[in-house]
Structure 1
């Protein structure tokens, strides 16, 4: 498979999500604390800059097969920070100010950025004969826009970029090639101790590479073929991580990203546009944007044109598009056909009960067993002996009268339960194991699964949380019925009866969209791109490389 222009264009969508990750975060206002410290990924500072630990270069090493006579496309991409000042006109000239009003419009002093990219095409046979060095120059610029009572001054500093590309044949019988690309910021910067915002104007921000080959294939470093594992282990990547991009199985294009991703990351088709936060949920960000006050929306629009696009998109999104954000089914599992397990059966570690199966009374879940929505849950105190009562599709106003049966005991609003988290949804649950809680409601999600909304009995703020409707959420198989007042004797977050430290996070509404009514899609890197749509890259860990 070759790196056609179409393959490179398809890879750009994922690369753009990396390029703008963290560019501007909700609530998209310049005054928000989270938008005061910017540009966290892929920053290559000028050489000699000492005030931060950020590097001046990134090194990519990856493997090729069958590419000895191919052309290599190397496309460096990054953001070029652009200073934006607003100045008021006075008798003595123009004076910088934090903001400038021009009628109904507000203009803020807030840096933005413009994307930069270049493409270099190199024959692989030439690289095997010796390394090649390519130097790129990005000119600076300045622009002035005059307003009533002042002006806006934007400008960017000139940059110098160096690409050093080499290829070699590692020893061995397989004919694999090892490619090395070093991307350097070679900009001259005479202020090694300058404040970071000034150094960023001379830096490559969110720097990454797109690599394409016209013949042969790249090899995955995440999951290399067995015969190439030694060569893959010998690749050294500094401040970047190369992954295969394109359709599953495609190996003609590599994205070397400052954010760790899996092979073949994808942007969910349901996403209506960028939110610059691929670790958050599109639906949540959209709804939160709609809650901004008019003053906050005006400030967001004045902060950056891309922030203005987000606000305008949220206000104009039609209901059918919002419905697409709510969730998507990519695939369905097969229906269960086997008989229920015999009483006392212990499932093998890591097994997953099929949807619709009913564990027999006395069945004990094995460590690592994962309950599935649609199965009747089993708690550590015994099996659920009856189906969930009530209509799963009933509206939430019936939550007060809904009930589930756990270990032969009806659990409804006001019931006391002991928490035994087991679904690994939130690391915070290690502190909740063994705690006594009060059931505030029994809820059904859009898939018909039941969830218990609870408050902790020993939480001094329980009344406030109850008044606000802010609860912890657990599946019925994550609680045990209790009777009588008080906390479970001996139960605590670390070593209470039945506690499992570090195992069993809650199905908290903001952590597990599948565990709450009205869950929305996510664009969180690290999640299955086929399960929860979002605007960012799906299918990576999202950590800096």
Structure 2
């Protein structure tokens, strides 16, 4: 199959979910400090990777993902699906020699950037349009292929002379999207939609090539997710279904992905099935200044830290990837009024009869309306490095149920409904190890934890990618 052609009709159908889908596609693509040499960027592509069959299931990664959700289609309803993923494009750096030839080098220094080898992500889409009737009559199968490719980009200096080139290689990719629908018994006419995405590549390494993740990635589908659209009718929420549908929802099997209602709240014709667990109708915060690719960080702190990188660090980041260069430029050019908006946003207001308590998650105005007094400010502003004096995440403690908890302590997770997302709720009852006790700029305490039994815990520690809970969301294991 040749390069994909994206139809305007499909874009219109899925436009309401496009921004969130793009965030899923590029989540973790390049992490702060946005340099290829950073430890966080050495293990790439952590979400929704479908590997070729030769890699095997004992590696902890998978060759397929399965989505099952419920829908109430009207008669003769049209159905559309859009599979989206990234394809790893391996880039090597070469330096120009005096005789007109090129040699491969680990880096190429230019005045504004340092070019280094890197895997770039190229967006791919596979579209399917059919009817619900066709899905029930044997299903709809959409095989797809992407051929290998090579392209070369010359690199010039400030005077226009060729000083090197970038050589990009892509490997062949094969896969299939299978769609089917079946009737579900119940008080109302409901159908179960099954969508399976599979990597069907027959690639095997040549003699002398080590079969490892580095070799497998160019033959993998990365950040795989699905957009599903029902022409007439409605999808049911998988996280908050009506009472009569809860049994049918529980019988659905979602493997390596999770479907949520997408698009404008109140509309139920769109579903986003993502390897990242989301809530129904996810949306990008209007205060977000642009793509930062690192949702484990707070935009405000991330923008400040990025702007504070040294000139040499920014040169390497700009040479790592065009998206990393865009983040550097965004942080350097962000006006103060935009940065100020990132410090917090009021999503809803409630009656306030006094100062907010320490556990309140509601955003509050700076002036309490009943007393007419201004909220107290800390002696040092939150952005002053001196504010960190006296805090040490590795040794700080917090008292829970009369007992100290610190780095190394074991805790039982018990997230409540007040501020938990779907991912937190899945961890209810699991034991975890505290990695650090953290204090935010507003005085709240957070516990950074890793889940006991998680095979990726060592990688999370190395990269600093923890889960975060507040003290009232954990307990001592032996007290439950």
Shared fold, TM over 0.5:
yes
Q: What is the deviation of 1:68?
A: 4.3
- Number of the residue aligned with 1:263: 280
| Equivalent residue number for residue 19 of structure 1 | 25
- Name the stretch that deviates more: 315-324 or 55-64: 315-324
In the alignment, structure 1 residue 81 sits paired with structure 2 residue 88 = yes
Change beyond 3 A, Cα 1:109–1:69: same
Report the equivalent of 1:150.
164
Q: How does 1:76-115 map to 2 (within 5 A)?
A: 76-89=83-96, 94-102=102-110, 105-115=113-123
- Are the counterparts in 1 of residues 187 and 244 from structure 2 also a CA contact under 8 Å? no
Tell me the distance in 2 between the aligned counterparts of 1:102 and 1:501: 52
In structure 1, how many angstroms separate the alpha carbons of the residues matched to 2:359 and 2:111? 63
The reply on whether 1:471 has 2:391 as its aligned counterpart is: yes
Asked if 1:493 is matched to 2:404, the reply is yes
Whether the 8 Å CA contact 1:106–1:299 is kept in 2: the answer is: yes
| Residues in 1 aligned to 2:64 and 2:278: alpha-carbon distance in whole angstroms | 20
Equivalent pair of 2:93/2:105 in contact (CA under 8 Å): yes
- Paired residue for 1:126? 134
Which of 217, 225, 247 pairs up with 1:200? 217
Once the two structures are superposed, the pairs formed by residues 121-520 of structure 1 within 5 Å of their partners are 121-147=129-155, 148-191=162-205, 194-333=211-350, 335=351, 355-356=352-353, 396=378, 399=379, 469-471=389-391, 492-493=403-404, 512=440, 514-515=442-443
Decide whether aligned partners of structure 1 residues 34 and 5 sit closer, same or farther in structure 2, where only a CA change above 3 A counts: closer
Q: Structure 2 vs 1, CA of residues 290 and 509 (structure 1 numbering), >3 Å: closer, same or farther?
A: farther
Query: Could you state the TM-score of these two structures normalised by the residue count of structure 2?
Result: 0.73
Instruction: Tell me the distance in 2 between the aligned counterparts of 1:57 and 1:20.
Output: 20
User: Matches of 2:329 and 2:277 in 1, distance apart?
Assistant: 31
Q: Structure 1 371/218 Cα, relative in aligned 2: closer, same or farther at 3 Å?
A: closer
Query: Is the contact between residue 493 and residue 501 of structure 1 (CA under 8 Å) also seen in structure 2?
Result: no
Structure 2 residue runs of 5 or longer lacking an equivalent are 1-8, 156-161, 365-372, 416-433, 445-466, 469-480
After superposition, what is the alpha-carbon deviation per residue over 1:226-285, rounded to whole angstroms, capped at 9, x for unaligned?
111111111001100000011222211000000111111111011110111112111100
User: 1:47 matched to which residue of 2?
Assistant: 53
Q: Distance in 2 between matches of 1:372 and 1:190?
A: 54
Structure 1 partner of 2:42 = 36
Is residue 93–residue 106 contact of structure 2 (8 Å, CA) maintained in 1? yes
Q: How many residues align?
A: 390
Aligned to 2:370: none
Following TM superposition, by how much is the alpha carbon of 1:67 offset from its aligned partner in structure 2, in angstroms? Answer: 3.5
Per the TM alignment, residue 503 of structure 1 is displaced from its structure 2 partner at its CA by 9.0
Aligned mates of 2:227, 2:77 — CA distance in 1: 16
Query: Which one has a bigger Cα radius of gyration?
Result: 1
Q: 1:296 to 1:75 in 2, by over 3 A?
A: same
Matched, 1:70 2:83: no
State whether residues 46 and 203 of structure 1, in contact with CA within 8 Å, keep that contact through their aligned partners in structure 2: yes
* TM-score, L = length of structure 1: 0.64
Q: 1:287 to 1:143 in 2, by over 3 A?
A: same
* Matched residue SS, 1:19: helix
Deviation at 1:52, TM superposition (A): 2.7
Whose helix proportion is higher, 1 or 2? Answer: 2
